Copies of this chain bind each other. A is one copy, B any other.
Amino acid sequence: MGKIKLDEIDHQILDMLIDNTRIPFTDIAKKLLISAGTVHVRVKKMEESGIIKGSSLTLDYKKLGYSFIAYVGVFLNNTSQTKFVLERISEIPFVTVAHITTGKFNIFCKIRGKSTEHAKEVIFMLDDIEGVYRTETMISLEESINDKKRLMHSIFNDM
């Protein structure tokens, strides 16, 4: 689980793939003045080493009718139940991510839903989990997603 070191070529390959995974390796090769075979081998290595965990599509959930986002803080009766409750929470498909956290809440999660009505149902599911004392909801009114590329560049500049 330690750091893995990548060279400048790897950085550039990731830079081109990060926001378009289907870009042809030949295009990458042309731009970096290396052969397509080399791109192939390097990507494979980054996959094998686990730096690249996978690839995925970015869908427009709003267009699918799921425009509601909220964060829910969860308070537990007893912190010994944390792991158990985290697992139950993670079984709800409308929960996109859940964290065990320090601070105010014991568990903290993000939910995505169709509407306030729908979100209410999801929050009730959370409240119904054994060990959950109460929840506190923050509804997202506007979301600003930061480009992955920027974080990646900051990381690379630091290596």
A137 to B90, CA, bound (A): 23
Count identical subunits in the complex: 2
A51 to B148, CA, bound (A): 20
Asked whether, in the complex, the Cβ of B14 is within 8 Å of the Cβ of A59, the reply is yes
Looking at chain A's contact residues, the main secondary structure is mixed
Asked whether, in the complex, the Cβ of B54 is within 8 Å of the Cβ of A20, the reply is yes
Chain B residues, Cβ within 8 Å of A144? 86-87, 89-90, 97-99
Instruction: Select which of B51, B58, B101 is within 8 A of A63 by beta carbon.
Output: B51
13 A-B pairs whose Cβ atoms sit less than 8 Å apart in the complex? A22-B22, A51-B60, A56-B56, A64-B155, A71-B99, A71-B108, A93-B153, A96-B145, A97-B146, A98-B144, A100-B142, A102-B139, A102-B141
Asked whether, in the complex, the Cβ of B64 is within 8 Å of the Cβ of A51, the reply is yes
